[in-house]
């Protein structure tokens, strides 16, 4: 990669397409963001989202999944396009259009060694440092998107382990909405959706009494999506 950090003017002779991943996780009651400290020029040492140029022979979406796999070791992660960042002057080095993609991962699944090897770190969403280029904007846009999206799609489940408790699910939604929810109303609402399967196990890590574990009934959810179900939770 060329080092443009010392040139103020760089002729822009061709177009590049990149993709940047806004990677969310959920842990200890907080939404987390995976970012990394650049180990190469340009912008060495600065915090940045994880991204890559899109290769000539790969789909934009493939590029994003490739990046995600390189960093976390995970495949088939939930990922959706956020938007395109296409201002002519967004990157002082290249004329580069970047397609932001947000990903939701189960924070216990990823490959910790791989993440460390790449210099990546999880940051609490409320403590994200200054990022390079327009990456802070991307994070804000992605947050706004998942806050809105969580109202009509059960994306929250992508952030939880396969088995989870209802209080866990509630803490996740509270982290997404930045708002405390009433536990009685919350439980009533999520159970009324009929997409949770109650298991015979309890999670005793957060209380003496223990909370029942549930699984997400993906088949049932697909049926509901087709019939226009609404997952609004207030």
Partner DNA sequence: GCAAAAGTGTTCTTCCTACACCCATGC
Partner DNA sequence: GCATGGGTGTAGGAAGAACACTTTTGC
Query: Nearer to a copy of itself by C-beta: 58 or 217?
Result: 58
Query: Nearer to DNA by C-beta: 208 or 226?
Result: 208
Q: Does 175 bind DNA (CB under 7 A)?
A: no
Give the one residue of 7, 10, 84, 109 binding a copy of itself; rule: CB under 8 A: 84
CA distance 15 to 5: 19
Q: Does 54 bind a copy of itself (CB under 8 A)?
A: yes
Q: Does 178 bind DNA (CB under 7 A)?
A: no
From 21-29, 44-52, 120-128, 207-215, give the range in contact with DNA by CB under 7 A. Answer: 207-215
**Residue whose tokens read 């509630």:** 170
Give the one residue of 58, 141, 174, 217 binding a copy of itself; rule: CB under 8 A: 58
Range 152-171, binding DNA (CB under 7 A):
165-167
The count of C-alpha atoms lying within 13 angstroms of the C-alpha of 230, restricted to the half-sphere facing its C-beta, is 3
Give the one residue of 1, 6, 8, 15 binding a copy of itself; rule: CB under 8 A: 15
For residue 135, which of 94, 85, 180 has the smallest C-alpha distance?
A: 85
Give the one residue of 95, 149, 153, 163 binding a copy of itself; rule: CB under 8 A: 95
Nearest approach in angstroms of CB 168 to a copy of itself is 27
Nearest approach in angstroms of CB 109 to a copy of itself is 26
**Residue whose tokens read 């443009």:** 4
For residue 204, count other CB atoms closer than 10 A to its CB.
Answer: 10
Size of the site for a copy of itself (CB under 8 A): 23
Element (H, E) at 84: strand 78-85
Q: Does 226 bind DNA (CB under 7 A)?
A: no
CB burial readout 2-38, b (16+ within 10 A) else e: eebeeeeeeeeeeeebbbbbbbbbbeeebbbbbbbee
**Residue whose tokens read 């088949």:** 219
For residue 129, count other CB atoms closer than 10 A to its CB.
Answer: 11
Q: Does 194 bind DNA (CB under 7 A)?
A: no
Query: Nearer to a copy of itself by C-beta: 41 or 148?
Result: 148
């Amino acid at each position: 990669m060329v080092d443009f950090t010392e040139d103020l003017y760089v002729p822009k002779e061709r177009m590049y397409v990149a993709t940047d991943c806004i990677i969310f996780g959920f842990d200890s009651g907080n939404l987390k963001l995976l970012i990394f400290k650049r180990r190469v020029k340009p912008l060495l040492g600065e915090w940045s989202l994880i991204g890559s140029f899109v290769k000539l022979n790969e789909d934009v979406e493939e590029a994003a999944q490739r990046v995600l796999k390189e960093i976390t070791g995970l495949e088939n992660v939930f990922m959706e396009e956020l938007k395109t960042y296409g201002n002519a002057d967004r990157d002082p080095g290249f004329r580069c259009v970047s397609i932001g993609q947000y990903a939701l991962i189960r924070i216990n699944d990823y490959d910790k060694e791989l993440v460390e090897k790449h210099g990546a770190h999880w940051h609490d969403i409320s403590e994200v440092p200054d990022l390079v280029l327009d990456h802070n904007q991307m994070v804000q846009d992605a947050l706004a998107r998942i806050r809105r999206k969580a109202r009509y799609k059960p994306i929250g489940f992508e952030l939880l382990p396969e088995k989870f408790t209802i209080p866990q699910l509630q803490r996740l939604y509270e982290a997404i909405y930045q708002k405390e929810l009433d536990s009685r109303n919350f439980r009533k609402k999520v159970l009324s959706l009929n997409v949770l399967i109650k298991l015979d196990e309890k999670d005793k890590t957060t209380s003496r009494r223990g909370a029942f574990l549930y699984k997400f009934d993906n088949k049932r959810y697909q049926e509901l999506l087709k019939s226009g179900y609404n997952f609004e939770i207030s």
